[in-house]
Structure 1
Amino acid sequence: MGSQEVTNWQGKHVTVAGLGVSGIPAAKVLHGLGALVTVVNDGDDERARAQAADLEALGVTVRLGDGATLPEGTELIVTAPGWQPDKPLFTAAAEAGVPVWGDVELAWRLRGLDGREPAPWLAVTGTNGKTTTVQMLASILKAAGLRTAAVGNIGVSLLDAVLGEERYDVLAVELSSYQLHWAPSLRAHSGAVLNLAPDHLDWHGSMEAYAADKGRIYEGNRVACVYNVADKATEDLVRAADVEEGCRAVGFTLGAPGPSQLGVVDGILVDRAFVENRQKNAQELAEVSDVTPPAPHNIANALAAAALARAFGVPPRAVRDGLRDFTPDAHRIAHVADVDRVAYVDDSKATNTHAAEASLAAYESIVWIAGGL
């Protein structure tokens, strides 16, 4: 089922793998387009049965407790991003020559279905900092007067964004390694890999496979591949990517930037990538104090967001205003209280060692209260 067939879903046999935040909307959208949809799900609990009943009332077939068997006649599988690539369902699909798409791939293929010019995607991935960076990016784009939204792995459905009535000039898209694995034809306007550290290796099978899936975000980029100067693995992914002619590698650094980089000079966020004569010139974008909180890893997030926004042609003032307007989500090195001259900080969003290390580095002297795995 190639891209040339994407406008004709009538009678196509599509299997949706997984009930949940991506599976249910995908099933409803595909059914609405005239596809013959079967949803398969491993679980068969009370919640799954209620979800199944809602879909069956629409005319969607649902098979609970059997996510391993490929339904007869399947021409395409649309999978929830968390389903591992080695599941028997996908083995059977490979043997039968049936393509597998994720919800991101489906959304990408359905852009412009209503005849409107689809909004370009500015895409962000990385082991940590994705959500904050995408939210910063959306704030900057809004400050430039652009109609935009932060969507994707951030919890806002890409399907809703590309098929809803709201018209966007550009989308700020957070993508996980899972989503990128199942998005073979995604081609962003510009993309960024913020950092790479071992994560989800049980799902990907190896660090190399994990990195390769992250690197998919650069494939086909038109204007800029944004990488982390301090994390050589991200630059290696740029070098390996097949991009459109004229697309540039743009680095971000907490130090003074070289040509084609964004960085920090004397407390100022500076652009030496999207300026005339970048060998000699630099453009001030914002002050470190405009970033909340001004921790090193968050300054890096701001520089990555600024690079993507500048790649889209956003003026310097919008970068400053967007960063000033941005408020981070809860539990991200959030100051809770001062007791007996000791500051208490909530950073419970740090769910892996890489994230915790970055947050701890924001303070000179700490007592770490840790829990979980």
Structure 2
Amino acid sequence: MRERQHWYESIIDAIPLPLSVTDSDMRWTFVNKVVEDLLGKKRPDIMGMECHNWGANICRTENCGVACLRRGQTRSMFHQWSRDFTVDTHYLLNLTGQRIGHVEVVQDVSEQKALGDLMAKITSYSKLLVNNAATLSNASQHISSTGDQVSVETSSISAGMEELAQTITALASAAEEVSANLQGVSAALEQTSRSIESIAENARHGTDLAARANQLAEQASGIMGELGSAAAETGTVTEIIKGVASQTNLLALNATIEAARASEMGKGFAVVAGEVKNLANQSGRSADDIVTRISGMQEISSKAVNAIGDVNGVIATVAEAMAHINEAISQQRAATGEVAGNLQQASQGSSESAENITQASSAIQEMSASIHKINDAARGNAEALRSVNGSVKEMSRIAGELDAIIRTHTKQA
């Protein structure tokens, strides 16, 4: 019997793992050789001791192997002395199947755990590497596509710059033409201003001459009125002379008759002679009066002639002033036509300038849009490059950690 016990103990002692058996009160009833070596005590000295004398950090805690078994968990783990251990705990049964104790097998799984951790890290880092590789690929594609877009937009900007240069050249030409037309307008306006001043001066002179002519015409009208009065008075005198002549004729007839009767009535001649003398005196006075009035009429007529001459002179001067005015008006008309032509050309040049400015504005807007697109692409590239840089750094860090883990594991192995 003892031989068989020794035989079983030898078998258990050959197990290279710590193995202990406790009763229901968690007191040791058996330990193998490995446990003796770990505790530094012989098996007889250990029997009956409570198992917490292991001194493990899970003793007397809910992570104790027996406590875990009683909760239905046959395997538990703990970390101590910089090592990792697993505890496999099972019930010890008698022949009737009754639970009479516990069997605990402790195993140092530090290498296995380290290897598992290493594999987990390698797997995790592999996923990170795959993700970072995908990020790099996406960033590369994005940079490539934005590069193509930037190339297209750059070509668009180049074409826009050429169009803008042509538009600016046309705009400068139109501006020079407008400037020349405006200078022509300025010169024509100066000439028009001088013409207007000349017209105003001649108009003022013409007004003065017209006033003078009106005054002279009034004087001539007055003189002609006096001449008309003198002519009327002369007509009166002429009527008197006609009456005198008629009476003289009558007297002559009477004288002829009296001459025929002279033999009978000689005295009648004396009476006729007296009447003829009176008529003759009256005719003389009328003749003197006529001479006086004719002289007055001659003087008035001379005045009228002089006044009419003055009026003619004034009219000639007015005609000359009107000729100057007409000439100035013609010059003004020509200058106005030149101003209108220059203004029309300037307006046309301004329209062309406005059209060129519109084209330049459109070209600038298109270039601005292209620049915005390039800016957006540059920002996208910058973000992609930052992502690439971050991915590269992360991959470098992962590679370093993997190298360190592998080196550590190699040294431990």
Q: Same fold, TM exceeding 0.5? A: no
TM-score (normalised: structure 2): 0.17
Say which one has the larger Rg. 2
Q: Which has the higher strand share?
A: 1
Higher relative contact order (CA 8 A, sep 6+): 2
Q: Which has the higher helix share?
A: 2
